[in-house]
Amino acid sequence: MLVLLGVLLVVAGFAVGLNPLLVVLASALATGLAAGLSPVEVLAAFGKAFNENRYVSAAWLILPVIGVLERSGLQEAARGLIGRLRGVTFARLMLAYLLFRQATAALGLTSIAGQTQTIRPIIAPMAEAARAAETDAPALNPPEAQKVRAFAAGTDNIGLFFGEDIFLAIGSILLMVGFLDQNGITVEPLHLSVWAIPTAIAAFIVHGARILLFGRRGPRP
Amino acid sequence: MIGLSQVYALAGLVFAGFAVMSLRDAANPRRRRNALFWGLFALSFLAGDHLGDLGNGVLVLVMALAAAFGLGRSGTTAEDAEARVASARTYGLRLFLPALMIPIIVLAGSLGVRHGGAPAAALVDPGQATLVALGFATLLVAGLSVRMFRQPVLSPLTEGLRLADTVGWMALLPQMLAALGAVFALAGVGTVVGETVTRVFPMDTRLAAVAVYCLGMAGFTVLMGNAFAAFPVMTAGVALPVLVKVYGGDPAAICAIGMLSGFCGTLLTPLAANFNLAPAALLDLDDRFAVIRAQAPTAVVLLLVNTVLMHVLAFPTHP
């Protein structure tokens, strides 16, 4: 039971608002000590795992190219595009993006879009411009703009999560096949992925309804 | 063969560039600390395999302390904003071209390697084709964009650093959480949580057992930050012995919908930092949890939908 101390530390630390990096270090130390490791052994185990998980941070490799495109005016061009496309409302833009993200993820194309490469430079500015045009404001006030950006980011995650499992060769499907195989149950990847379809449809309906509601809210003073 | 180590070397060089640019960034009052942070990031990517476990531990400790005491960022001036508007007017739709090229190159690269037979597999490690293609795409498209839009040669590094400063210490958190997950696994945290869940909650009806599995997958994922960590524990603890053996459920439907219930938990937890917290930093949101708040209603409703779907669809030969 003592090893759960680390989990408690993470939950409490994040809830109180301490710096998450220090919370993670403290939790790793507590967990390791509870499992009978010495502090030096914990540090070594953490360092080993940190080194093995470098691919997580390799995603930041895309920052320079997005930076250059933003300096060249990509965000401004995305905003300008909304001004020229009359029929594109906030709700239609978000619905189209949700469908696009789910459909491409279902084909295994998970890295075709993402928070750094699509949401920040293109979709978020377009969503803000579309929302501003609907509320007849030259620009959104900062709290409203932040809400729109957060909603766009959430839409990307939801589209990705509830699309990717329809694809046969995605990591989570392979994990399930392997796990069931170890337990003596043979399952074809196809059988797992078809069961992701009902939830994918539900996700489009539920989040789509929230998009429509978000788009109908009146302009905020 | 081009594989992970070449991509890491490229990332290491980019991060080293960030460190040098940080040092030269007169507008950033904490430029030395930023340079230390990105310099150590570069060291990890360039030489992490030669530092030893303890060396890597010390490295991440120093990085985390430097970052936790606060990294600085340089501001953007109004001049830059005017230049961006003017550039957007000059180049218009052409600006989207490089942005579209990145996914196309990644797609073509990973498909090409996977279906290119022996010659392609000899050139690029098939297991890392996507990451290699991404590294190649960023290099190529950055160079192309600098030429097309007449930007300074060093702008990929200075502008990349501007974005990196926006993300700040959050850039380190996803990898640290992944490492924490490994320490949790080493200490057997998952097994203890799983045993507690199965012992505490009653599962004497089919619906109760389905609810324990679906809500347990989500709750466990919230605590561990990762549905993949929750899946083996909850499935071995609840799904296989109770839902499949006792109630005769279809293992494929139960596992698939169970995993998607875990994904609902991923949408709710700050521990899935790369999906939930890093975008909030990247989009300059004041509220660290703004993306989670935006996702939460959808996640909670979908969790209930999943529970109902499993109850209705996963038991063909009813109770």
pLDDT given at position B79: 63
Give me the mean pLDDT over the A56-66 stretch. Answer: 91
Chain B residue whose CA is closest to A180: B251
Name every chain B residue with its beta carbon within 8 A of the beta carbon of A43. 54, 57-58, 61
pLDDT given at position B78: 56
Q: If pLDDT is split at 50, 70 and 90, which confidence band does B117 have?
A: confident
Name every chain B residue with its beta carbon within 8 A of the beta carbon of A210. 297-298
For residue A56, the Cα-to-chain-centroid distance in whole angstroms is 14
Give me the mean pLDDT over the A112-128 stretch. Answer: 93
Give me the mean pLDDT over the A135-150 stretch. Answer: 88
Evaluate whether A79 touches A69 at the Cβ level (below 8 Å): no
What the block records as the tokens of B313 is 């669809």
pLDDT tens column, B181-225: 888 888 888 888 878 877 888 888 999 999 999 999 999 899 888
- Work out the percent of chain A whose per-residue pLDDT is above 90: 59
Residue A147: name the closest of A130, A124, A126, A114 by CA.
Answer: A124
Chain B residue whose CA is closest to A50: B179
Q: If pLDDT is split at 50, 70 and 90, which confidence band does A112 have?
A: confident
CB contact under 8 A, B53 and A53: no
What the block records as the tokens of B148 is 């097309």
Evaluate whether A173 touches A192 at the Cβ level (below 8 Å): yes
Evaluate whether B213 touches B233 at the Cβ level (below 8 Å): no
Evaluate whether B11 touches B175 at the Cβ level (below 8 Å): no
Beta bridge partners of A137: none
Burial of A142 (0-12, 13-18, 19+ CB in 10 A): exposed
Name every chain B residue with its beta carbon within 8 A of the beta carbon of A76. 84-85, 87-88
**Hey, which residues 137-196 in chain A have their CB within 8 Å of chain B?**
146-147, 149-151, 153-154, 156-158, 161-162, 165, 171-172, 175-176, 179-180, 183, 185, 187-188, 191-193, 195-196
Higher model confidence: residue A116 or residue B112?
A116
Beta bridge partners of B2: B124
Whether this model's pTM surpasses 0.95: no
Is 70 exceeded by the pLDDT of residue B264? yes
pLDDT given at position B181: 86
pLDDT given at position B75: 62
User: What is chain A's mean pLDDT, rounded?
Assistant: 90
Q: If pLDDT is split at 50, 70 and 90, which confidence band does B319 have?
A: very low
Half-sphere exposure of residue A125: CA atoms within 13 angstroms, side-chain side: 18
pLDDT tens column, B31-74: 889 999 999 999 999 999 999 999 999 999 999 999 988 888 87
Among the partner-chain residues B89, B103, B161, the one whose CB lies closest to the CB of A112 is B103
For residue A220, the Cα-to-chain-centroid distance in whole angstroms is 27
Chosen for mutation from A157, A160, A190 (greatest number of chain B CBs closer than 10 Å) is A157
Chosen for mutation from B77, B104, B162, B263 (greatest number of chain A CBs closer than 10 Å) is B263
Higher model confidence: residue B1 or residue A207?
A207
Is 70 exceeded by the pLDDT of residue A218? no
CB contact under 8 A, A117 and B54: no
Name every chain A residue with its beta carbon within 8 A of the beta carbon of B10. 61
d(CA A208, CA A102) in angstroms, rounded, equals: 12
Other residues' Cβ atoms within 10 Å of the Cβ of residue B104: 12
Contact A113/B at CB under 8 A:
yes
Closest approach of chain A CAs to the CA of B204, in angstroms?
A: 24
Give me the mean pLDDT over the A124-130 stretch. Answer: 94
**Phi, psi (rounded to 5 degrees) for B309:** -60, -45
- DSSP characters for chain A? -GGGHHHHHHHHHHHHT--HHHHHHHHHHHHHHHTT--HHHHHHHHHHHHHHTHHHHGGGGGHHHHHHHHHTTHHHHHHHHHHH-TT--HHHHHHHHHHHHHHHHHTT-GGGS-IIIIIIIIIHHHHHHHHHHHTT-SS--HHHHHHHHHHHHHHHHHHHHHHHTTSTTSHHHHHHHHHHHHTT----HHHHHHTTHHHHHHHHHHHHHHHHHHHHSPPP-
CB contact under 8 A, A119 and B95: no
> What ipTM did this prediction achieve?
0.90
pLDDT given at position A102: 96
User: What is chain B's mean pLDDT, rounded?
Assistant: 90
Among the partner-chain residues A34, A64, A199, the one whose CB lies closest to the CB of B156 is A64
Closest approach of chain B CAs to the CA of A92, in angstroms?
A: 18
Is 60 exceeded by the pLDDT of residue A174? yes
Beta bridge partners of B124: B2
Chain B residue whose CA is closest to A37: B187
Evaluate whether B261 touches A43 at the Cβ level (below 8 Å): no
- DSSP characters for B199-246? HHS---SHHHHHHHHHHHHHHHHHHHS-HHHHHHHHIIIIIIIIIIII
**Hey, which residues 47-86 in chain A have their CB within 8 Å of chain B?**
47-78, 80-81
